[in-house]
Structure 1
Amino acid sequence: MAVASNPKAQGAPSSRPLRPRVFLACRGVQRAYENGTTRNKARVRVYYVYMEYKTRTFNIPELSGLSATQIEVHLGLYAGYVKHTNLIRQKIAELAEEKEANAYLIAELRRRFAFEFNGMRMHEHYFEQFEGGAKEQNTASALAKAAEEKYGSYENLIAHVREVAGSRGIGWVVVYFDPAGKTLHTVFVNDHEIGQLAGLPVLLALDLWEHAFMVDYVPAEKSSYVDAFFKNLNWSAVEARFDATERGR
């Protein structure tokens, strides 16, 4: 299965010329305007700048052990996270017109935002790893060296990811790199946001929500799904993420 790729889209704002809508209050009157000039600037307070995240497309070939239907269903769910990330931001912008009256609603939407945003971003990490088809680990890569320092070998890193993937519950196995500590961390993240390691770049993301595999596997066959994940993983994408963290230090 081939899904068209858009290399410019990063689950991020559109690359169109930036003309954000700015919600303003002036003498109690709410209005929106695009970048430019406005009269009585001294009386204008900016409440919120709204932009829209775009659903990415991915160049995913036919996979072994993961059907085209499974991937299509999963991509549709990812699009829902993008939609609701935008919806929450839009609703907060609208509710900000009456901040005091809507304070409770705004607070609850802000709490919900991390779930939707991380659901969007983690799925982008996930699908990127299948682009271009499966590629084996480069045992001479910088990531291989880091894996050897932390786990003894690349194979031991994979075994550890499999072990963490056996955790009960829904969520993700995430391998991070800590540039300050110069080490890898492998953790289980509940939902999409609970247990994320603050500020650390994601190297590998394994989706363990049932929606990631239940078209092809029943819950008791989760380990078979994990096998399929590693069989189709493009390790060069994972290694490139590590190289990017090294360059950014």
Structure 2
Amino acid sequence: MRTSLRGNHAALARWDGRAGTYAPGAATFCTVPAVPDPADWAGLARLLGPGGLADMFSCPAAPPADWEPVFTLEGRQMVRPDGDIGRASAGGFDGSAGRPPVPDGPEGPRVVELGAADVPEMLGLVALTAPGPFGPRTHRLGTYLGVRDGGRLVAMAGERLRPPGWTEISAVCTAPGARGRGYAGLLVGTLAARITARGERPFLHVVEENAAAIALYERLGFALRARVVFRGFRVP
């Protein structure tokens, strides 16, 4: 994440010394050096403000003792092998992987790019499905794609962290009434193909308890790269 803030996401980065985080509403992730000192934690506290959430993603360093733990989640980082894009066109979080998407028009579901004008609908879909941290400026992190049914946004996925040579796929979600149509797999596959076409490798993160999502990603060609721990703390 640190390289994302220094590189592709520099315009959305905030720094105080060696501590960094994203602009409000873009992402909650924070970064300190691998071996932080008290000045680094003090810098992060100034960036976040009293009561702010320090989303430490996979940072192993422990914050000061008076920072309140908010959550700890075991997870996986999964990647696509080079050139493995052949299986990324079908599937969903609801047992629909392996079946083609149900057509919603003469040529099947149409994937559309989402932007600032779509943010209210994106936030509404996030509120229904809770795919993970997503705010009013998250769409600025990369390309976000969606599927509409009767004009209503029913599924989306997009790009988040972008270290050199890599792009993370995130915010994969489908409205409850639209599940079973393969939209999740369609969107992840489309993003993976785009990422691969520009010479980067797609990766993603998933919490360990989400067995359905892990199974879908495996069917789409993603494989375990590393075990990770997501941790959040409240600044005093």
Which range, TM-score by smaller chain?
Answer: under 0.3
**Larger RCO, structures 1/2 (Cα 8 Å, 6+ apart):** 2
- Structure with the larger strand share: 2
TM-score computed with the length of structure 2 as normaliser: 0.27
Q: Which one has the largest radius of gyration? A: 1
- Structure with the larger helix share: 1
